Structure formats: structure tokens, C-alpha cells
Amino acid sequence: MAERRVTIGWAEGLHARPASIFVKAVTSTGVPMTIAKETGTPVNAGSMLGLLALGAEGGETVILSASAEGAEAALDRVAKMVQEGLDELPAA
């Protein structure tokens, strides 16, 4: 299983608008992923409800994980977006 530890770059964390951007980005990769706080239980990264329940704040470290084909590249793109607080997924 591939994973990336990344600090959330959006000041408001993964709430409302950034959460929506994140879920769309994860879904667009076609690679199933999970996200967890460092001491928490992983949730489906493509689920808005799961993401909001996570309660991840800006500046916190989260762990993105995936094991499907293409996981490394997909995780790199999503991790860059989260760390830099981007409004869209970076190009492959």
C-alpha cells in the first residue's frame, strides 16, 4: 500500500469548499483512497461525509493511502494539491 503524509495547506482545513475540491479530485483520479489523521481511523477519501467527519484542520498532518494500480502517481497529485492548498488537481 502506498501512502503519503501531508500537511493540509488550506487554512480552513478540509471543510466546506476545500473538502468539495478534495473529494472531486480524489474521484477524478479513479484510484480509491483513504485519508486519516495521524492517530485516527482511515475514511474513504472520496466521501464528503467521511471527510467532514474526519475534522481535519489547516496545518494538521493527514495520511493518504491507496493500493490500486496507479496509486503512486494519484497520491502524488492529490498530496501536492492538499499541501499547497490548490483549487484543482495538478497535471499528471
Cell representation of residue 29? 483520479
In a domain, 90, yes or no: no
Residue 44's CATH number: 3.30.1340.10
Q: How many domains are there within the chain?
A: 1
- List pLDDT tens digits, range 64-85: 999 999 999 999 999 999 999 9
* Residue the block writes with cell 484542520: 57
Closest to 32 measured CA to CA, from 57, 2, 9: 2
In a domain, 91, yes or no: no
Closest to 89 measured CA to CA, from 18, 34, 22, 30: 22
What is the extent of the structural domain holding 10?
Answer: 2-84
- Of 2, 3, 9, 15, which residue is the catalytic one? 15
In a domain, 71, yes or no: yes
Q: Residue 65 burial (CB < 10 Å; 0-12/13-18/19+)? A: middle
In a domain, 6, yes or no: yes
Is 4 assigned a catalytic role?
A: no
pTM of the model: 0.94
- List pLDDT tens digits, range 2-58: 999 999 999 999 998 999 999 999 999 999 999 999 989 999 999 999 999 999 999
In a domain, 36, yes or no: yes
